Structure 1
């Protein structure tokens, strides 16, 4: 039988393969590959259960590596729940870099009081947002007016006898 296939000219053999009358070896390989993939396309196989949108988004954010950025955004957005309503009215997070959360307060009195409560607030942040990467908190007072503004600002200590 092998001699008969060799006896058929190559052009006729190609014609027969293209017409589907004689399957080629390449086509057999393709069919074998598909038979292994058919298991995942079966309706009741593992992994075919429908998933909710929340589950899909959680998987997507985890695979993309967005967990820490989203945890930081949630921390800022829900600051009033973390710090408490009264404290949140007088404070706001302004920066988060190298694990240091900087919180600006309305007054230096609030900054000092919150420095005493630092451990409690940090524990609450770590409990709610472990992926945010917050290691420590720094409380600062309000912005003070600056004398260094305008096109002719000169580096140095600035005016000294302004209020006296």
Structure 2
């Protein structure tokens, strides 16, 4: 076999294969336009099942506003209570009012017990008188289980007790000087 016969051999094999594929039963040759239509149809399968959704909102396929979806998402995840507890500290001014918030700050919230520190003993006394009103306002804004009790403390001096292993009866740093 010389180099001159090789291209003719390949061409004749290709021609025979094409003839054989056209003559197979149940198979017919496709035109270019039919082939393009079929490819487009195959590519679009599952894309737009119902067609155009129309001018109204369709909750299954149209994008939704996050504000309408977020409350259900938070409830599903169980984030309602932690977010309400965080609101006590973040929205303190709006929850209790500007006058009260100017003279006290929330310190901690554990098991429904809110600890509030007043800036002076006079404000601590005033807040103790207003405690039931503040509690009612917090319950209406945050829900009945977030804050169940308010403990108000006035200003206090520095504490020399640090940690669980401090000495009882010690007078602070001055008892070590002799």
Which sections of structure 1, spanning at least 5 residues, go unmatched? 1-20, 22-37
Equivalent of residue 159 in structure 2, options 124, 133, 146? 146
Quick check: which one's helix share is greater? 1
Taking a change above 3 Å as real, the CA distance of residues 121 and 154 of structure 1, as seen in their structure-2 partners, is closer
Radius of gyration: which is bigger? Answer: 2
Contact 1:72 1:132 in 2 (8 A): no
- What's 1:156 paired with? 168
Taking a change above 3 Å as real, the CA distance of residues 134 and 107 of structure 1, as seen in their structure-2 partners, is same
Higher relative contact order (CA 8 A, sep 6+): 1
Q: CA deviation at 1:42?
A: 3.9
Secondary structure of the structure 2 residue equivalent to 1:111:
helix
Taking a change above 3 Å as real, the CA distance of residues 50 and 101 of structure 1, as seen in their structure-2 partners, is same
Contact 1:71 1:132 in 2 (8 A): no
RMSD (Å), alpha carbons: 3.0
Partner Cα separation in structure 1 for residue 166 and residue 111 of structure 2: 32
| TM-score (normalizing by structure 1) | 0.62
Partner Cα separation in structure 2 for residue 61 and residue 131 of structure 1: 18
Equivalent of residue 118 in structure 1, options 131, 143, 148? 131
Q: Residue deviations 1:45-93, cap 9 Å, x none?
A: 9742542111222221111000111111112111112211121111111
| Pairs aligned (count) | 121
Partner Cα separation in structure 1 for residue 84 and residue 159 of structure 2: 34
